[in-house]
Amino acid sequence: MSDVKKVVLAYSGGLDTSVIVKWLQEEYQCEVVTFTADLGQGEEVEPARAKAQALGIKEIYIEDLREEFVRDFVFPMFRANTIYEGEYLLGTSIARPLISKRLIEIANETGADAISHGATGKGNDQVRFELGAYALKPGVKVIAPWREWDLTSRETLMAYCEKHSIPVDFSTTKKKSPYSMDANLLHISYEGDMLEDPWTEAESDMWRWSVSPEDAPNEATYIEIGYEKGDPVSINGEAMSPATILETLNKVGGANGIGRADIVENRFVGMKARGCYETPGGTIMMKAHRAIESITLDREAAHLKDEMMPRYAKTIYNGFWWSEERRMMQALIDASQEFVTGTVRLKLYKGNVIVVGRQSEFSLFDSSIATFEDDAGAYDQKDAAGFIKLNALRMRIAAQKGRSFLDKVKEPK
């Protein structure tokens, strides 16, 4: 008899998690609570209720978390201009800490002593879910069926459904796409099938959120994004909620062929993996945020953020959102955003996001000093001579002591 009495399962309503419900009931002989989150994946989540009820589930949680997701997870991450390995905007990674948080909160509410998820043993998500769970409830038991059972293929899952009379609509369980996909308001990802060959170009009909740059409109689209303390708050002068802003940018970005990426990334579990991503709204936000920072952030503050960003990105990618180091970095990042307020004007054209204007009441850009015209004495160019000599002093001393780079240059024959 299992010591697990009740478990909270992250439940999508699909084949895998429907099998997991029954498997938990059979293997652990425990009560199952299902939790289904709407993070803006573009699919109805309410049908999961009927599916869970058909499996005998009495406690069913279905929640719209779109605003919390963007406000408390996506926006804080974008304040840091976060990008993993130079290309990935962390669309999947940033959703996992919120799901972990709600799994633990629901476990506390329902008196459950375990949580469960459908992540496989090869990917990063198992790490992210479980690190978050342990950080928020150290003694919780985590059940990862893919690391325990012998169901290793779609065929074995289907056979399990038939054997245990799991109410799955077999006429609709054939995958609509050959790819493993994950979606939320920030992005949609594609992995598997032909993408497992990094030399093979992704099929044009794979992409769902964006037109190809070649098929994008021949005329540019102009938009203005308003910022307050590092977060976007309006589009074209219209105030919007965080989720609405990202949803709107996804639509306008996708219509202009923006946000596609084809990446081979280094997973935390040790392997390289190829994935394709569509992140139209995030791509626009990244460009816009850097633009407003360019006129409002002090030089050294901006450079410090840039130096810290790869560490911050790796922390999120690897699943350490709830760690002390992430919170420490977040405090520094948020402090830097005090004056990051203003408006950025962008031109969207055939896959490109082009900054064409930026303004702020807190701008540090001083045209009277930067001008190439007569600055009326605002900047004395003679001061530059001493500045340059002082910065050259250590190199001049080294050269005088015989440490000359010219000695290492071969004379031409």
Query: What is the average pLDDT across 126-134?
Result: 97
Residue from 66, 79, 96, 358 carrying the catalytic annotation: 96
- 128 annotated as a binding-site residue: yes
Of 91, 101, 94, nearest to 132 (Cα)?
Answer: 101
- 38 annotated as a binding-site residue: no
Judge whether 125 counts as a catalytic residue.
Answer: yes
- 12 annotated as a binding-site residue: yes
The whole-number pLDDT of residue 409 equals: 59
Query: What is the average pLDDT across 273-277?
Result: 96
- 391 annotated as a binding-site residue: no
Query: What is the average pLDDT across 121-134?
Result: 95
- 125 annotated as a binding-site residue: yes
Residue from 72, 180, 182, 323 carrying the catalytic annotation: 180
Those residues whose C-beta lies under 8 Å from the C-beta of residue 404, and which sit 6 or more positions away, are none
Judge whether 49 counts as a catalytic residue.
Answer: no
Tokens, residue 213: 């740059």
The whole-number pLDDT of residue 407 equals: 63
> Would you call 180 exposed, middle or buried from its count of C-beta atoms within 10 A (0-12, 13-18, 19+)?
middle
The whole-number pLDDT of residue 211 equals: 97
The whole-number pLDDT of residue 172 equals: 44
Residue from 16, 182, 262, 334 carrying the catalytic annotation: 16
The whole-number pLDDT of residue 1 equals: 52
* Residue 174 pLDDT exceeds 60: no
The whole-number pLDDT of residue 173 equals: 44
- 91 annotated as a binding-site residue: no
Judge whether 262 counts as a catalytic residue.
Answer: no
Query: What is the average pLDDT across 274-287?
Result: 98
CB 23 within 8 A of CB 14: no
* Residue 340 pLDDT exceeds 70: yes
Cα separation, 299 vs 268, in Å, equals 33
Cα separation, 340 vs 343, in Å, equals 10
pLDDT tens track for 357-381: 999 999 999 888 787 777 777 888 8
- Domains in the chain (CATH in brackets) are 6-79+94-163 (3.40.50.620), 180-297+339-359 (3.90.1260.10)
Of 96, 42, 39, nearest to 65 (Cα)?
Answer: 39
pTM to 2 decimals? Answer: 0.92
Q: Where are the beta strands (DSSP E) in 39-129?
A: 60-64, 114-116
Judge whether 16 counts as a catalytic residue.
Answer: yes
* Residue 165 pLDDT exceeds 60: yes
Cα separation, 76 vs 354, in Å, equals 23
Output the CA torsion sign for 64, 70, 76, 78: positive
Residue from 66, 102, 125, 358 carrying the catalytic annotation: 125
- 135 annotated as a binding-site residue: no
Between the two ends of the chain, the Cα-to-Cα distance in Å is 86
* Residue 169 pLDDT exceeds 80: no
HSE (CB half, 13 Å, CA atoms) of 263?
21
* Residue 219 pLDDT exceeds 60: yes
Tokens, residue 267: 């997973």
- 67 annotated as a binding-site residue: no
- 298 annotated as a binding-site residue: no
Share of the chain above pLDDT 90, in %: 79
